[in-house]
C-alpha cells in the first residue's frame, strides 16, 4: 500500500512539474516582463529608500524619481549600443568584401600547398564567400540588435516596476496572508535573503562588467582594433549571459580584425585576450567581488542556462542565474526540499576529495585526537 502511495505521489509530482513548465512556456509574454521588473525594482530600490528616508520624499515622488533614473540610464546604454551597431552594419559591405578576399587567398594557398591544381576546393560559382559572410554579418547584427532592444520593447516593465515599488507594503501583507502557517519573522527573513542575493548579484555584476570592459578595451587598444571601447564593453555587457556571452562578444572584434588588419594573427590575438580575461573573470574577479553569496555551482549554472534558453530563449539565459539563486533560498527553507537546495549550492572540499583521501584525512584526525 505504501509503495502504491509513493508511486501515486511521484506521478502527481511529475505531472505538476510538467504543468508548471507548460504554463511558464505559454505565459512567457506575461511572466518574463514581471521577472525583469522584479530584478530592476531590486536594483533601484536603494535609490527609493534614500529618497524616502534621507530626503523625506513621499513614496509616489520617490518611486517616479527612481523609475526616471533607471529609464535614462537604460536609454543611454541602448542608444550607445544601437548607434555603434548601426555604424557596424553600414560598413558590413566593406567588411564582407575584405573577408571574402581573405577567404579566397586562404583557399588558393591551400590549393598551392597541397598541389590540388585544377580540382579547386571551391568554385566561385558554387561558393560565393562574400555573399555568405555578408549574410552572416547581417544575421549577427540583427540578433544583437534584437537582444539590445529586448528590454526597451517591453513597455510593461516600467509599469510593473512602479507598482512593485509603490505597493511593496501591500504585496508584503499579501504574502503574510498567503502563508499564514509561517510567522512574519520567518517570511521577513526569507524576503530579506532573496533581496540580498539579488542585490548582491546585480551590484557585483555591474562592477564585474566595468572591470572586464576596461580590460577588454585595453587589450583591443593594444592590438589596434577600431572602436576598442565599444567592443570591449559590449563583450563585458554580454556577461549577462554566463559562459556564452563572452564567445558572442569576442566574435565581432575578431571579425573586424580579420577585415581591417593584414594578418589573421590579430583575430587570434583578440580571441586569446578575451579568453584570458574570461579566465581572470571566472576565477578571480567575480569570486572576489560577489563572494559566496550567490552560491550556485557551475554544473547547475550550465544546466539552468540550457533549460531556461529552451524555455524562454535569450531572455531565459539572462534570467537563469537570478532565478536559480532564488530557488536555492526557497528550497533551503522549505521542509522536504532541502536536498534540492543542497544540489544547487557549491560543494565543499570534502565533496571534491577521493574516497581514499577522505579516509586518510579522517584517520589522521582520529590519530591526532588520541
The pLDDT, as a whole number, for residue 367 is 55
Q: For residue range 207-246, what is the model confidence (pLDDT) as tens digits?
A: 889 999 999 999 999 999 988 998 999 899 888 876 677 7
Is residue 370's pLDDT more than 60?
Answer: no
Q: What is the mean pLDDT of residues 17-39?
A: 90
Q: For residue range 40-70, what is the model confidence (pLDDT) as tens digits?
A: 999 999 999 999 999 999 999 999 999 999 9
Mean model confidence pLDDT for the chain:
80
Q: What is the mean pLDDT of residues 335-342?
A: 88
Q: For residue range 98-156, what is the model confidence (pLDDT) as tens digits?
A: 767 776 677 677 767 776 654 455 554 444 545 555 555 555 555 555 444 454 456 78
**Who has greater pLDDT, 41 or 3?**
41
Give the integer Cα–Cα distance in Å for 1 and 286: 51
Contact 239, 205 (CB under 8 A): yes
Least confident piece of the model among 128-132, 297-301, 321-325: 128-132
The pLDDT, as a whole number, for residue 6 is 67
Give the integer Cα–Cα distance in Å for 321 and 204: 13
Give the integer Cα–Cα distance in Å for 79 and 81: 5
Give the integer Cα–Cα distance in Å for 66 and 72: 10
Give the integer Cα–Cα distance in Å for 248 and 318: 14
The pLDDT, as a whole number, for residue 129 is 47
Is residue 96's pLDDT more than 90?
Answer: no
Amino acid at each position: 500500500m505504501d509503495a502504491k502511495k509513493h508511486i501515486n505521489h511521484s506521478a502527481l509530482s511529475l505531472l505538476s512539474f510538467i504543468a508548471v513548465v507548460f504554463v511558464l512556456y505559454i505565459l512567457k509574454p506575461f511572466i518574463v516582463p514581471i521577472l525583469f521588473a522584479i530584478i530592476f525594482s531590486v536594483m533601484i530600490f536603494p535609490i527609493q529608500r534614500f529618497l524616502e528616508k534621507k530626503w523625506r520624499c513621499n513614496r509616489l515622488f520617490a518611486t517616479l524619481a527612481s523609475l526616471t533614473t533607471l529609464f535614462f540610464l537604460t536609454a543611454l546604454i541602448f542608444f550607445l549600443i544601437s548607434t555603434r551597431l548601426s555604424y557596424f552594419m553600414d560598413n558590413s559591405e566593406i567588411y564582407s568584401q575584405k573577408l571574402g578576399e581573405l577567404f579566397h587567398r586562404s583557399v588558393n594557398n591551400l590549393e598551392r600547398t597541397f598541389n590540388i591544381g585544377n580540382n579547386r576546393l571551391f568554385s566561385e560559382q558554387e561558393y560565393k564567400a562574400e555573399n555568405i559572410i555578408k549574410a552572416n554579418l547581417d544575421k549577427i547584427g540583427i540578433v544583437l540588435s534584437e537582444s539590445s532592444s529586448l528590454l526597451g520593447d517591453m513597455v510593461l516593465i516600467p509599469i510593473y516596476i512602479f507598482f512593485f515599488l509603490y505597493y511593496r507594503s501591500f504585496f508584503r501583507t499579501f504574502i503574510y496572508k498567503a502563508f499564514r502557517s509561517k510567522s512574519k519573522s520567518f517570511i521577513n527573513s526569507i524576503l530579506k535573503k532573496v533581496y540580498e542575493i539579488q542585490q548582491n548579484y546585480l551590484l557585483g555584476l555591474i562592477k564585474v562588467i566595468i572591470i572586464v570592459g576596461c580590460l577588454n578595451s585595453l587589450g583591443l587598444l593594444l592590438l589596434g582594433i577600431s572602436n576598442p571601447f565599444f567592443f570591449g564593453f559590449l563583450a563585458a555587457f554580454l556577461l549577462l549571459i554566463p559562459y556564452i556571452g563572452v564567445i558572442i562578444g569576442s566574435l565581432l572584434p575578431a571579425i573586424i580584425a580579420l577585415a581591417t588588419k593584414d594578418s589573421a594573427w590579430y583575430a587570434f590575438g583578440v580571441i586569446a585576450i578575451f579568453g584570458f580575461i574570461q579566465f581572470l573573470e571566472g576565477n578571480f574577479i567575480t569570486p572576489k567581488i560577489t563572494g559566496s553569496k550567490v552560491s550556485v555551482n557551475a554544473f547547475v549554472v550550465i544546466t539552468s542556462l540550457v533549460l531556461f534558453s529552451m524555455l524562454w530563449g535569450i531572455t531565459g539565459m539572462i534570467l537563469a542565474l537570478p532565478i536559480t539563486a532564488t530557488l536555492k533560498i526557497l528550497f533551503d527553507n522549505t521542509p522536504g526540499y532541502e536536498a534540492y537546495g543542497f544540489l544547487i549550492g557549491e560543494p565543499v572540499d570534502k565533496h571534491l576529495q577521493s574516497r581514499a583521501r577522505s579516509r586518510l584525512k579522517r584517520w589522521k584526525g582520529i590519530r591526532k585526537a588520541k
